[in-house]
Structure 1
Amino acid sequence: MLPQWQAAAAAGPVGLVAVCVQSAGEELSRERVSIGNGLCADIPLYTSLREKIQYNSLFSRWTCCKRLKAVFIGGGVVIFHVISLSYIYTIFPAIDEGLKQHIKIPYNLEEAKNLGMVLEHYTEQYFLEVFLSVFFIYIFMQTFAIPGSIFLSMLCGYLFNYPLALILVCFCSATGASLCYLLSSVLGRYVAYKILSHRIPEWAIIVKKQEDNLLYYLVFLRVTPFLPNWFINIVAPIINIPLFPFWLGTFIGVAPPSIVALQAGKALYQLSTSTIGWTWTSVFLLSLSAALSLTPVLIKYRLRAKFE
């Protein structure tokens, strides 16, 4: 294969079209066709059958590579979650029959409190098992955009010390969002173009304008409630946001909102384990929670002023 054809194959269908146009001799006419990913190109109708066969062969190879990549990434993400969830199922200690009803993903405050009280009994003796269970389940929920992560963040504040809980929530949120990013890059691209084709070019232009401040802009999107997190995870690869800035921006950006959930979990723990309903300690913790809850608001306004 000639070097220019090899470079064109690496560049994708647009590169193939460019090389074919240059290498073709005389064109009878041009035909506008879709080449995938929401792109179109003018395909020349060649006078040389050999040139057309070369183009079709390279285009078929490029399409085959894209499909193999989709299978590899999609299958890898699914296999990772199957292995991780199977692992925590096998290592977790036996639960008393009367407590099994509380072992489920929490979707409200009461369920989070009941689950925290159950897991607290096992944390001292089986700390690693409990920690890994929360770790893998949190990533699973973020990957597939399953509701309830806010209550799982509260559970982290309930069970673990504050620095560990904050790092756990930030890392799991960033990693789960990145796995969702990868799935969207190979499986959700065509659906997104079909449903949001009129909005994607607008968002791509906005991201392009913030190219020099991309990390800060991603932090801004995570802190502010303008766009839901699952939506950002799906659209990010489509508008060509690189994976590492996406992960790092998510890790930093989810920290301020997580402060509120973690402090709520700490306050819930204090109220659930204290024999006296109100003490000076609990009052102090609730006051501290209220003060810390203002942190996301202050960061939000500072970031908004930067990007407006």
Structure 2
Amino acid sequence: MAPTRNLVRDEELGAISDDDDSPSGKRSKLDRFPLSRWELAVSLGVFLVFSSGLCCIYMTMPAAEFGKLKLPRSIADLRLLKDNLANYANEYPAQFVLGYCATYIFMQTFMIPGTIFMSLLAGALFGVIKGVFLVVFNATAGATSCFFLSKLIGRPLITWLWPDKLRFFQAEIGKRRDKLLNYMLFLRITPTLPNLFINLASPIVDVPFHVFFLATLVGLIPAAYITVRAGLAIGDLKSVKDLYDFKTLSVLFLIGFISILPTILKRKKIYE
């Protein structure tokens, strides 16, 4: 059954690629919304369930000046938010952590930009150890939710948005089935592919959930540590770009290379 499914997927992706070769195909791709009515209804239903849960959590939290609370979009917004939340987090630690986790998982599930600011906020408010634990927990939980949401309705969306990248990812996964965990760890540790794409594409190309989960849980730790630690010195940051300079990226790729070293050594033995 697996080869048949892969053949069908290849044909679907090939059909998309053929449409993209002509100007009319590109126009039709932009004009055609990929989700059917049923898929759109399911996605809206899931969104409403998560939104209702988030609202219920906020309604049970102690009163705060909600006019000052907003999702940060810049380092300046983050500094202001941190100042407004510091006393609240000290007075109501359990309620604050619950609200923080719910917000982070919601954003990660529905691919809402800004989780990197939430990670910086964790460092600024909770310190390195608690901050890394919170970020890895929430990022893994949100990625898991996104994985199952994509498994339900993601195929038409991702083949519409990234047909070439999906075809490449499927080919790479097919070549590395015997050491798939190492490869997924490499992808999670390094910025080779966006985490958003990995979350959406993994169920489409038949990455087993246990491999996806373990690679996410372990592979996000290095980047989470870097981001959370930067949150301790949030006053020195000028932009998000300062987080990932050449030195930081080199370290991440070094860790990623170590994760795929067993695969490289095994191939070398085979060819010898």
1:302 alignment partner in structure 2: 258
Aligned residues: 230
3-state SS of the aligned residue for 2:91? Answer: coil
Structure with higher strand content: 1
Tell me by how many angstroms 1:169 deviates: 0.7
Instruction: Specify the alignment match of 1:162 in structure 2.
Output: 128
Identity within the alignment, %: 31
Aligned to 1:264: 230
C-alpha separation in 2, matches of 1:125 and 1:114: 18
Larger radius of gyration: 1
Q: Check the 8 A contact 2:190/2:256 in 1, yes or no.
A: yes
From 170, 185, 191, the equivalent of 2:157 is 191
TM-score by length of 2: 0.72
Q: What does residue 205 of structure 1 align with?
A: 171
More helix by share: 2
Q: What amino acid does structure 1 have at the position aligned with 2:60?
A: I
Residue 120, structure 1, aligned to residue 86, structure 2 = yes
- The answer on whether the counterparts of 2:189 and 2:222 sit within 8 Å (CA) in structure 1 is yes
Alpha-carbon separation, structure 2, partners of 1:227 and 1:82: 28
**Deviations for 1:117-171, whole angstroms, at most 9, x for unmatched residues?**
1111111221111101110111111112111111110000111132221111111
**2:90 corresponds to 1:90:** no
Q: Measure the CA separation in 2 of the matches of 1:80 and 1:232.
A: 24
**What is the aligned partner in structure 2 of residue 78 from structure 1?**
47
Distance 1:210 1:158, change over 3 A: same
Alpha-carbon separation, structure 2, partners of 1:265 and 1:95: 23
Q: What is the CA–CA distance in structure 1 between the aligned matches of 2:109 and 2:76, rounded to whole Å?
A: 25
* Partner in structure 1 of residue 214 of structure 2: 248
Q: Which runs of 5+ in 1 are unaligned?
A: 1-10, 16-34, 41-66, 272-290
Please report the RMSD computed on the Cα atoms of aligned residues, expressed in angstroms: 3.5
- 1:268–1:202 distance in 2 versus 1, CA, 3 Å: closer
User: Which residue number in structure 2 is paired with residue 229 of structure 1?
Assistant: 195
Q: Secondary structure at the match of 2:226?
A: helix
Q: Distance in 1 between matches of 2:92 and 2:146?
A: 30
Against the structure 1 CA distance between its residues 130 and 294, is the aligned structure 2 distance closer, same or farther, given a 3 Å change threshold? farther
Asked whether the equivalents of residues 138 and 173 of structure 1 are also in contact (C-alpha less than 8 Å), the reply is yes
The question of whether the paired residues in 2 share the 8 Å contact of 1:260 and 1:293 is answered with no
User: Structure with the greater relative contact order (CA < 8 A, sep ≥ 6): 1 or 2?
Assistant: 2
Cα distance change, pair 197–294 in 1 and its aligned pair in 2 (3 A): closer
Seen in structure 2, the aligned counterparts of structure 1 residues 145 and 298 have a Cα distance that, compared at 3 Å, is: same
